[in-house]
Amino acid sequence: MLTDRINSLSESLTIAISTLAAELKAKGKDILSFSAGEPDFTTPQVIKDAAIQAINDGHTRYTAVAGIPSLLDEVVNKLKRDNNLNYEPKNILVSNGAKHSLFNLFQAFIQEGDEVIIPAPYWVTYPELVTYSGGKSVVVETKDGDGFKITPRQLKEALTPKTKLLILTTPSNPSGALYTKEEIEALGEVLKGTDVMVASDEMYEKLVYDGKFTAVASVSDDMFKRTITINGLSKSVAMTGWRFGYMASVNDELNKAVRKLQSQSTSNINSITQYAAIAALNGSADKDIEDMKVEFKKRRDLAVDLINASDKLSVIKPDGAFYLFVNIKAVTDDSMGFCTKLLEDKGIALVPGVGFGSEGYVRLSFATDEATIKEGIGRIIDFCNSY
Ligand code: PMP
Ligand code: GLU
């Protein structure tokens, strides 16, 4: 009855596990969930006020598909101010979350026979979107020793005449790895002279604790032309429910194509969210963003110290995002079995590494309070000791 392409699609594992944990909790079970990729903070007041104002001002109608002009200007300003990138409003398409931006991109740009290079561990959604577009994922396994980052040599070896796109995520979900400017330049050197485009997912840009964030498109003229920058507000400003993301690219043909697709699917995003997003992007929430980051950093340091104090688990301190990608190989390689039993026995929800393309690891989100982190990691260590 259904299409082959929908039958080949898997449900998002991260969403499935967070939903299961919430259901068990609602039934009264003692569950501590470290599965959600979602800040536990509420959206800053200045942003909520902008949304309320937009409702009262009557901004309740359809808008241009790509977003209202003042919002597109604000995205352009943000990319200039934060990343030294010179985009124009016509280069920006605002969509219903960065996930939707990625969906549009893959539908417009990837088809049967195209290869997409995805460094693992990767965010669960990428290979699914590649499959749904008819393309083929070429997964490149990165090593803890390389800080979970694809090396120029690995990239070179993965390239074929069919390669259409490379996906980079900095900082990474699930490893938190942050690419330095030099590392991005070196990857750019490998791509020079090819037609390969780069999708750079920079969702966690504002959550960097060590080192300096570098936008992939900013390292050279050549990379600016071949990079499609994907970003949003879900993580940096605690706006997961508002649904705001964007893609930026100087490729006019691609921009026309994704606008056309969105004009026939969702049209513009929620008009109220667009006004809220202006307040989130124009600097008025910067203090709130900084406060959340300080809190996340404290939690990261606490969680890393607790994990690394155990002799069965280890983790590389992540430079950014709010996840630990914990090595469980001293206990087992079977991350799905580990997570299933951990949830049953100890009421702890983690996401198995296999969902991110890397067996022998689990993802722990530290977007939760310190007491929960202490209690939860204590239970995980007890569990490992008796596994
Ligand atoms: N990219 C990465 C790396 C993510 O972790 C997420 C989290 N959901 C997204 C994109 C999509 O975020 P959203 O659709 O909420 O903007
Ligand atoms: N990106 C988040 C995560 O990795 C949210 C869930 C999802 O969109 O898959 O958990």
| Same domain, yes or no: 310 and 191 | no
Q: Are residues 76 and 174 in the same domain?
A: yes
Take residue 22 and report the two structure tokens written for it.
């919430």
From atom 5 of ligand 1, which residue's Cα is the shortest distance away? 173
Q: Domain boundary residue among 281, 315, 342?
A: 281
User: What confidence tens digit (pLDDT) does each residue in 242-267 have?
Assistant: 999 999 999 999 999 999 999 999 99
Binding site membership of 174 for ligand 2 (Cβ less than 6 Å): no
Domain boundary among 281, 305, 322: 281
163 falls within a domain: yes
For residue 49, being part of any structural domain is answered with no
Q: Are residues 194 and 296 in the same domain?
A: no
**Pocket probe mutation, ligand 2, options 125, 204, 365, max atoms within 8 Å of Cβ:** 125
Given 266, 281, 296, the domain boundary residue is 281
Q: Using the predicted structure, report yes or no on whether residue 13 has a pLDDT greater than 90.
A: no
How many whole angstroms separate alpha carbon 213 and alpha carbon 100? 24
Domain-located, residue 14 = yes
Do 153 and 276 belong together in one domain? Answer: yes
Q: Is 175 in the pocket of ligand 2 (CB under 6 A)?
A: no
Cβ of 14 closer than 6 Å to ligand 2, yes or no, is: yes
Q: Do 246 and 292 share a domain, yes or no?
A: no
DSSP code of residue 230: E
SS3 of the chain: helix, strand, coil, percent, to 5: 45, 15, 40
> What CATH number should be reported for the domain holding residue 366?
3.90.1150.10
> What is the total count of domains within the chain?
2
198 and 110 fall within a common domain: yes
Q: Mention every residue, 6+ apart, whose C-beta is less than 8 A from residue 339.
A: 17, 349, 350, 351, 352, 362
Residue 133 belongs to domain with CATH number: 3.40.640.10
**Which ligand 1 atom is the nearest neighbour of the CA of 204?**
3
Does a structural domain hold residue 32?
yes
In ligand 2, the atom with minimum distance to the C-alpha of 240 is 5
Are residues 187 and 154 both part of a single domain? yes
Instruction: Say if residue 94 is in the same domain as residue 194.
Output: yes
Using 50, 70 and 90 to split pLDDT, how confident is the model at 319? very high
- CA-to-CA distance for 14 and 355, rounded, in angstroms? 8
Q: Considering the domain boundaries, does residue 50 fall inside one?
A: no
List the domain range (segments joined by +) for residue 136. Answer: 61-281
If asked whether residues 104 and 123 sit together in one domain, one would say yes
SS3 for 329?
coil
- Shared domain check, 215 and 176: yes
Question: What is the percent of the chain where pLDDT is above 90?
Answer: 93
pLDDT of 1 reads: 93
Q: Are residues 201 and 273 in the same domain?
A: yes
Residue 233 CA: which ligand 1 atom is closest?
16
CB of residue 19 inside a 6 A radius of ligand 2: no
Shared domain check, 76 and 164: yes
Q: Is 200 in the pocket of ligand 2 (CB under 6 A)?
A: no
* pLDDT of 36 higher than 90: no
> One-letter amino acid identity for 264?
Q
Q: Is residue 52 in a domain?
A: no
Which helix (H) or strand (E) is 119 found in, with range?
A: strand 115-120
Overall average pLDDT of the 98-102 stretch: 98
Residue 183 Cα, ligand 2 centroid: separation in angstroms?
A: 26
212-228 per-position pLDDT tens digit: 999 999 999 999 999 99
pLDDT at 290: 96
| Contact 173 CB / ligand 2 (< 6 Å) | yes
Order of strands, sheet of 323-327, starting from the edge strand that comes earlier in the sequence = 323-327, 361-365, 351-352
Element (H, E) at 117: strand 115-120
Pocket of ligand 1 (CB under 6 A): 37, 97-99, 123, 169, 173, 201, 203, 232, 234, 240, 245
Instruction: Tell me the C-alpha to C-alpha distance, in Å, between residue 137 and each of 116, 122, 129, 238, 341.
Output: 5, 11, 9, 31, 30
Mutate to test the pocket of ligand 2, among 9, 10, 12 (most ligand atoms within 8 A of CB): 12
Mean pLDDT of all residues in the chain? 96
First to last CA, the chain: 43
Determine if the pTM surpasses 0.75: yes
309 domain residue, yes or no:
yes
Distance 124 CA to ligand 2 centre (A): 8
Distance CA(39)–CA(294), nearest Å, equals 13
Burial profile 300-316: b = 16 or more Cβ within 10 angstroms, e = fewer: beebbebbeebebbebb
Query: Has residue 193 been placed in a domain?
Result: yes
pLDDT at 272: 98
